[in-house]
Amino acid sequence: MKSLKIVPIHSRPAVTDVEPVEAFKKTKPHLFDNSTLSVVIRFHHRQRLDFLEEALFSLALQNWSDLEPIIVLQNGTDDLKQTILDMLEHQPWRVSPEYKIVTVQIPEGADGRSILLNRGIETATGRYLSFLDDDDCVYHDGYTTLIRQLIGGDRAVAVGGCRRAQIGYESEHWFTHKKDNFFSWGRSLADLYAENFVPIHSYVIDRARLGNSELKFDESFTLLEDYDFVLRLFAAHEPDFTLLDKPVCEYRIRLDGSNSVAHTPAASPEVIDLQRRAQLMIKESKKNLYSKYFSDKNVNDFIEAPSKHTNLASGEQRPDDAERDRRVLLKIVLMMYDFFSRYPRLERRLSKTLHLLWNTYKKLMMANASQ
């Protein structure tokens, strides 16, 4: 029998004066002695229940079965909680997890996205922590891949690759129009300071390695709070970017412009205005924090130059020549991988042939060197 824990929590005043690094402190020591992955999912609108069910389905299929799903509801009613409970009960879990449904009271008309995430963090008991928006998904081996990277390394955060899926609503169903590697341009902390390429569900945090750090979203942000969070977290704890070429999750863009971030021309003027204001807050955050981490560089090089990777109006990238060549090569490699994965016998034969040719080549080179 799956168990459910419902935790009613009231919202607290937003903390706006916290120093970026000082916000990370006082981790609870009892979180270190388990292998549980706590996954925080915030939920704002009842009309997104279909999306939430797909997100939960992706959790149920995870290879990492020691899960603690935490669904944080903004002003959730008893009826909504029961609906989500039924949804949880009907997922094909590999091992029955302990569900937690957290309700947070937010003033009418206010956006509590950062507050919901913080209450989810406070409720989480797992050593490992991740976040998943209700309209995205994680691939079945995504969490296992990231946690194994953490176990085998010495970093507190492991980041994986993320595909972008563009979806549209047709005949009363959502369909995927295309997928691409939109976020694959980023490779380093310097790239992250220039622009975010790390979606909120593309990384896992090992809280046992945070020392005296505490995880907290800045509740003054009502947009781009995830970007501000990773900027502060990655400054305090350098992440492991080894798996950036390994897609572990999917970020979904709705072509009708209903995402909270302006990705398409269909985005409303209100969303675009909110995003611009959030970007100004991000600039201030970078000025306050990263000049001391890049003392040999001008912080304005990161925050004032227009983005060369993302066009907010169209959601399309504008890579330079080197980046375009790298992406073309990556696409060819992925196409070859997909082709040979369908014909394993041919793949084995080709592999043996390549090894034979390589060994023959090495022998010829050694023979020429000895003459």
Arithmetic mean of pLDDT, 9-22: 40
The most confident of 1-15, 28-42, 112-126, 174-188, by mean pLDDT: 112-126
Q: Give this prediction's pTM.
A: 0.72
- Asked whether residue 361 is assigned to any structural domain, the reply reads no
Instruction: Answer whether residue 204 is part of any domain.
Output: yes
Asked whether residue 143 is assigned to any structural domain, the reply reads yes
Domain of 242, CATH number, reads 3.90.550.10
Is 66 a member of any domain? yes
Considering the domain boundaries, does residue 362 fall inside one? no
Does 98 fall in a domain? yes
Query: Is residue 198 domain-resident?
Result: yes
Specify the number of domains making up the chain. Answer: 1
As a whole number of angstroms, the longest Cα–Cα distance in the chain is: 84
Assigned domain for 109 exists: yes
**Report for 27-31, 76-80, 268-272, 279-283: range of highest mean pLDDT:** 76-80
The whole-number average pLDDT for the span 39-47 is 92
Give the chain's mean pLDDT: 79
Range of the domain at 51: 3-318
Least trusted range by pLDDT, from 75-84, 156-165, 348-357: 348-357
